[in-house]
Amino acid sequence: MEQREIVCLDCGGPVQRAAFLLEDRGWRLHHAKSPAEAERLVRARQASVALASFGHRFTQCCSVDALEDLFAKTAPSAWVALVERELLDDPRLPYLIANYFRDYLTTPLSAEHLGHSVGHAFGMAAMDIAASPRSADADMENLPHAMLARSPVMRDVVRNLKKCARSGAPVTITGESGTGKELAALAIHRQSSQSDGPFIAVNCGALPANLIQSELFGSTRGAFTGADRDKIGRIEAARGGTLFLDEIGDLSLGLQVNLLRFLQEGVIEKVGAHQPIAVDTRVIAATHRDLEDAVEQGEFRQDLYYRLNVLRAQLPALRDRGDDVLALANAYLVHFARMNRSRVTGFSQQAINLINSYHWPGNIRELVNRVQRAVVMSDRRLLTPIDLGLDRRSALRAPRTLEQARGEAEKDALSRCLYHSGHNIAETARNLGVSRLTVYRLIEKHGINEGARQIQ
């Protein structure tokens, strides 16, 4: 019979009985007398299942904090608890079991129940591994943390970014502030044929109006007061690579004309010059504004909108990314812990619960800020809600902007109408009092990926 490895943390309890029953069923047990030894064994043996046996003196063996630290750091392993029945009256143990264990058994141990519980944990651990998005991880090897994709909505985004990278056409990236639009642009650049060229980012809303034209297109010596030398603009500096225009919706109408000419003809004209320069630069634009509304209001040129919006990527809000939220928090925790040589190793279960339930109005930018500050300032091994500046009230009643509230109401109304109409676009449009074109635009805007069919 092939032996399977299992680690057992001995904190009293029915250890010997469990060893006898499991070894008789083909398991090979490795005993650990401390959480540190258990962690070492789990990692060394790559054990997918681990036991923790608890007797009356389990708190003398190790502290609850040390146990919580162990279970958080070895979370990929499926833990099963063996507990003397009377210990369930101690609130500390049910807390650990509820938050960190796949299953638990009480004394007296039954060979049948123990074998079934451990076998089930082993099988579920194998399913977790099989279900992990390996192909998505492979696609993400060279991408920033913010593009990490565990949730279905982000896997769709990653696939979309990869398609955009294969083309040299302009891309428009939309999404709330803080969702990682510049990182998405960088992800497209790194996977594109222009990856060996420069990646130049420009925040159109941050540059002074009197400087942005020379910043984008360059200038010649003497073109204006203070121009004491020729200046290469950002578009020319990105030659052979990618120019990322953030907050493109804030660009003045006059500069929109110049940018449109570059996109149409591939040439620029420096301020003060009269000779056009051919430039091979790919443009990726981003905005948190609704450019279609800006076009309707006369604040954005329609012809430029269509030139920029050849390909489109919509980034979801962090609160809509499901399992990505905790995965991102862990990735940034590891990054900042290494950078600051911190003793922080993870999040407490209370912090994990709040991370998953918090509204994240600042999106990834807010997550990074809270995790970085917590890692630097905390003296604990596991970060708590207090370290993150979160509490139960902030998670349940997180402030929202009026724009966010409107967007959520719009998405909810659209989803409900699509569901009740059986995804009939025409009927959905009638119920919402809008055109079918608007329904398609809203489906794309809110990233609703359910199949919809048009019935005339």
Q: Does residue 413 or residue 76 have the better pLDDT? A: 413
Per-residue pLDDT, averaged over 214-228, amounts to 75
% of the chain residues with pLDDT over 90: 20
Q: Are 294 and 250 in contact (CB under 8 A)?
A: no
Per-residue pLDDT, averaged over 227-249, amounts to 87
pLDDT digits (tens, 9 = 90+) for 299-318: 999 999 999 999 999 999 99
Q: Does residue 259 or residue 61 have the better pLDDT? A: 259
pLDDT digits (tens, 9 = 90+) for 28-56: 888 888 888 998 898 888 788 899 998 87
pLDDT value at 173 more than 90: yes
User: What are the boundaries of each domain within the chain?
Assistant: 4-131, 151-314, 318-396, 402-445
Look up the CATH number of domain 402-445. Answer: 1.10.10
Q: Does residue 165 or residue 93 have the better pLDDT? A: 165
- Which DSSP string corresponds to 145-160? GGG---SHHHHHHHHH
Average pLDDT, the chain: 82
The predicted structure's pLDDT at residue 1: 44
pLDDT digits (tens, 9 = 90+) for 383-434: 999 999 987 555 544 445 666 667 777 887 887 788 677 778 888 888 888 8
- Which DSSP string corresponds to 417-446? HHHHTTSBHHHHHHHHTS-HHHHHHHHHHT
pLDDT digits (tens, 9 = 90+) for 427-453: 888 888 888 888 888 888 877 754 433
pLDDT value at 103 more than 60: yes
Per-residue pLDDT, averaged over 18-23, amounts to 85
Q: Which residue has the tokens 């600042």?
A: 362
The predicted structure's pLDDT at residue 452: 37
CA distance linking residue 172 with residue 248, whole number of Å: 9
CA 258 to chain centre: 36
pLDDT value at 165 more than 90: yes
The predicted structure's pLDDT at residue 241: 93
Per-residue pLDDT, averaged over 322-347, amounts to 87
The predicted structure's pLDDT at residue 3: 58
pTM above 0.75, yes or no: no
Q: Does residue 454 or residue 9 have the better pLDDT? A: 9
The predicted structure's pLDDT at residue 290: 87
Same fold, 4-131 and 402-445: no
60-64, 326-330, 431-435 — which is least confidently predicted? 60-64
pLDDT value at 228 more than 50: yes
Per-residue pLDDT, averaged over 177-199, amounts to 91
Q: Confidence band (pLDDT; 50, 70, 90) for 146?
A: low
CA distance linking residue 375 with residue 381, whole number of Å: 9
The predicted structure's pLDDT at residue 414: 85
Q: Are 351 and 390 in contact (CB under 8 A)?
A: yes
pLDDT digits (tens, 9 = 90+) for 119-141: 888 876 665 554 444 333 333 33
Around Cβ 101, how many Cβ atoms within 10 Å?
Answer: 18
% of the chain residues with pLDDT over 70: 87
Residues in the chain: 456
φ/ψ of residue 102, rounded to 5 = -75, -30
Which residues are registered as beta bridge partners of 104? Answer: 81
The predicted structure's pLDDT at residue 282: 93
Among residues 66, 136, 34, which one has the least CA distance to residue 346?
Answer: 66
The predicted structure's pLDDT at residue 286: 94
Superfamily classification of domain 4-131? Response regulator (3.40.50.2300)
Among residues 13, 44, 47, which one has the least CA distance to residue 29?
Answer: 47
CATH 3.40.50.410 fits 318-396, yes or no: no
CA distance linking residue 359 with residue 397, whole number of Å: 8
CATH 3.30.1180.20 fits 151-314, yes or no: no
The predicted structure's pLDDT at residue 322: 86
Q: Are 26 and 4 in contact (CB under 8 A)?
A: yes
